[in-house]
Amino acid sequence: MHQTVHVELGERSYDVEIGPDLLAQSGARIAPLLRRPKVAVLTDENVAALHLEALRDGLASAGIEMSSLALPAGEATKSWPHFERAVEWLLAEKVERRDIVIAFGGGVIGDLAGFAAAVLRRGVRFVQIPTSLLAQVDSSVGGKTGINAPQGKNLIGAFHQPSLVLADTSVLGTMTQRDFLSGYGEVVKYGLLGDAEFFEWLEGNGTDVSSGDMAARVRAVTRSVQMKADIVARDETEQGDRALLNLGHTFCHALEAATGYSDRLLHGEGVAIGCALAFELSARLGLCSQEDPSRVRAHLKAMGMKTDLADIPGDLPGAEALVDLMAQDKKVIDGQLRFILARGIGQAFVTSDVPREAVLSVLEDALATA
Ligand code: GLY
């Protein structure tokens, strides 16, 4: 059932291994990268309680010793104080230039540990072992690392590619259904942005993916990673095509800011709602048929996911305020809002050519039914 996706980036190329029970095989898979049988693991307290012993055993089976630091779980950890603690711990552990750091957790740990590896001794190699669906299909692949600043999310960071990614799909079994479905928002995004057949497969098999069918999970993660790998290989540092991965994200970032990056809206939930809005906007602009946004919303609803603004608990600001929040997104270039729109399911493209009035009218209508 195991799959390998290769991320082709010349001398920075690496493999993403996907499948069940990879923690047990972690030692054998990581050993070829090591110059000495010792690794430093950065994780969070929740993941450590659930899975750290399995990782320790997997590494020990290949004679690899590990030390670990568990940081608090949650987005607040992606900040200078925890970053400083992580880097100082790695130095205290005497991690050398030729050693490997392991990022063992969800997107927060992957981003923070990757950034720590990027700056430690001017750069050491690291391995991503993502434990959430969102991290497996998105944040662990592609080398974006960093932390948040008081001024905004992910404003401090570096591109630093991992040397290996081990996506153990068994570990997803301990996720809450809400967190899992949030990650599924990113899975759906891949179908919508570039693979209509994959979206159709998700329409037929999404409930198997969410209910824990391992073959379906491996297939969903593998296709998502393959699509991300292809895009990153074409445009590692987001000069063009990589922005396609932000389908739904311009709306999402405004909604996340409007809900204070709180539990009211998880990132992947915002991506799912954002994808529905991006398709609605595309239909209003005459780019795709009105059936496409209906189909997107029908699938999200069938999965039991947040689909509409009405599904976000609490009050939201008005359409003007939401568009203003979009304008603060770091992906704004020369003051121009950039959107990912679609000519149909699986046919997304990047454009700055979107009239503010069209965005306003989509949001006004969406808020009216909220
Ligand atoms: N998550 C978007 C990217 O990696 O570019």
Task: Give the mutation target among 7, 133, 141, 144 for probing the ligand 1 site: most ligand atoms within 8 A of CB.
Answer: 144
Please say if 2 is a catalytic residue.
Answer: no
CA-to-CA dists, residue 194 to 15, 126, 226, 346, angstroms: 22, 29, 11, 4
Q: Which of 87-101, 157-171, 235-249, 335-349 has the lowest mean pLDDT?
A: 335-349
- Using the mean position of ligand 1's atoms as its centre, give its distance from the Cα of residue 50 in Å: 27
Same domain, 21 and 58: yes
Please say if 85 is a catalytic residue.
Answer: no
Q: Which domain holds residue 230?
A: 177-368
Please say if 299 is a catalytic residue.
Answer: no
Please say if 6 is a catalytic residue.
Answer: no
Contact 112, 42 (CB under 8 A): yes
Write down which residue in 159, 174, 189 finishes a domain: 174
Task: Give the mutation target among 111, 133, 139 for probing the ligand 1 site: most ligand atoms within 8 A of CB.
Answer: 139
Instruction: Give me the helices (H) in the chain, please.
Output: 26-30, 45-60, 80-92, 107-119, 133-134, 177-194, 196-211, 214-234, 249-258, 267-284, 291-302, 319-326, 356-368
Same domain, 364 and 231: yes
Question: Closest ligand 1 atom to the C-alpha of 142?
Answer: 4
Same domain, 99 and 153: yes
Domain count within the chain: 2
Same domain, 165 and 236: no
Here the CATH number for the domain that contains residue 16 is 3.40.50.1970
- Using the mean position of ligand 1's atoms as its centre, give its distance from the Cα of residue 135 in Å: 11
Q: Which residue, chain included where needed, has tokens 């949001």?
A: 363
Same domain, 244 and 334: yes
Same domain, 281 and 315: yes
Same domain, 190 and 305: yes
Q: Please report, rounded to a whole number, the percentage of residues in the chain having pLDDT higher than 70.
A: 98
Same domain, 107 and 213: no
Same domain, 258 and 214: yes
Q: Which amino acid is at 101?
A: V
Tokens of 302: 């069938």
Here the CATH number for the domain that contains residue 254 is 1.20.1090.10
Ligand 1: residues with CB < 6 A are 138, 142, 144, 242, 245
Going by alpha carbons, the residue nearest to atom 2 of ligand 1 is 245
- List the beta bridge partners of residue 38: 65
Tokens of 184: 């599924």
Write down which residue in 130, 146, 174 finishes a domain: 174
Q: Which amino acid is at 190?
A: Y
Q: pLDDT tens for residues 2-29?
A: 999 999 999 999 999 999 999 999 999 9
Write down which residue in 121, 145, 174 finishes a domain: 174
Same domain, 102 and 85: yes
Q: Which residue, chain included where needed, has tokens 């939401």?
A: 322
20-54 b/e (C-beta count within 10 Å ≥ 16 → b):
bbbbebbbebbeebbeeebbbbbbbebbbeebbeb
Examine the pLDDT at 109 and tell me if it is beyond 80. Answer: yes
Same domain, 102 and 213: no
Per-residue pLDDT, averaged over 245-256, amounts to: 95
Per-residue pLDDT, averaged over 107-115, amounts to: 98
Q: pLDDT tens for residues 61-83?
A: 999 999 999 999 999 999 999 99
- Residues with Cβ within 8 Å of 158's Cβ and at least 6 positions away in sequence, in order, are 115, 118, 119, 145, 146
- List the beta bridge partners of residue 198: none
Predicted pLDDT at 337? 77
Q: pLDDT tens for residues 260-304?
A: 989 999 999 999 999 999 999 999 999 999 999 999 999 999 999
Question: What is the Cα–Cα distance from 51 to 43, expressed in whole angstroms?
Answer: 10
Same domain, 203 and 164: no
Per-residue pLDDT, averaged over 98-116, amounts to: 98
Q: pLDDT tens for residues 168-204?
A: 999 999 999 999 999 999 999 999 999 999 999 999 9
- Position 152 confidence tier, pLDDT thresholds 50, 70, 90: confident
Contact 12, 161 (CB under 8 A): yes
Please say if 88 is a catalytic residue.
Answer: no
Torsion of CA 275, 278, 279, 283, to 10 degrees: 170
Examine the pLDDT at 139 and tell me if it is beyond 70. Answer: yes
Predicted pLDDT at 327? 79
Q: What is the DSSP annotation of 289-330?
A: -THHHHHHHHHHHHTT---SGGGS-S----HHHHHHHHTTST
Tell which phi-psi region holds residue 260, choosing left (phi > 0), alpha (psi between -120 and 50) or beta. left
Please say if 94 is a catalytic residue.
Answer: no
pTM: 0.96
